[in-house]
């Protein structure tokens, strides 16, 4: 399974989201590859992703995709991440 975390530049916010997602996946006992990417490269980065994690302002820029787009409001809230990942993957 592949999960892509995106933000504007693919450096700051998406890197934080990537690390916290990996922690949550470990806690949930799930395995996945998690990548951080910028919104400009989303088509390439998420071409084979099952889940795309992002903030509300980037949803429209993602466009059509076969992946589940999951909006995360607080990148530091592991409970929010766990609940939304569990719903997307369950």
Domain boundaries, the chain: 2-79
- Above 70 in pLDDT, residue 9? no
Q: Is the Cβ–Cβ distance between 5 and 17 less than 8 Å? A: yes
Distance in angstroms (rounded) separating the CA atoms of residues 23 and 25: 6
Residue 8 or 37, more confident: 37
CATH of domain 2-79: 3.40.50.2300
Distance in angstroms (rounded) separating the CA atoms of residues 77 and 43: 27
Q: Which ranges of the chain does DSSP label H, i.e. alpha helix?
A: 13-28, 42-45, 59-62, 78-89
Arithmetic mean of pLDDT, 30-52: 88
The span from the first CA to the last CA of the chain, in angstroms, equals: 13
Arithmetic mean of pLDDT, 28-47: 87
pLDDT of residue 53: 94
- Above 80 in pLDDT, residue 29? yes
Indicate yes or no: pTM above 0.75: yes
């Amino acid at each position: 399974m592949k999960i892509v975390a995106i933000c504007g530049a693919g450096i700051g916010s998406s890197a934080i989201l990537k690390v916290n997602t990996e922690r949550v996946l470990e806690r949930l006992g799930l395995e996945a590859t998690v990548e951080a990417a910028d919104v400009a490269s989303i088509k390439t980065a998420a071409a084979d992703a099952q889940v795309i994690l992002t903030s509300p302002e980037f949803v429209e820029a993602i466009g059509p995709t076969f992946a589940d787009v999951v909006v995360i409001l607080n990148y530091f809230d592991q409970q929010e991440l766990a609940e939304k990942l569990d719903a997307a993957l369950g």
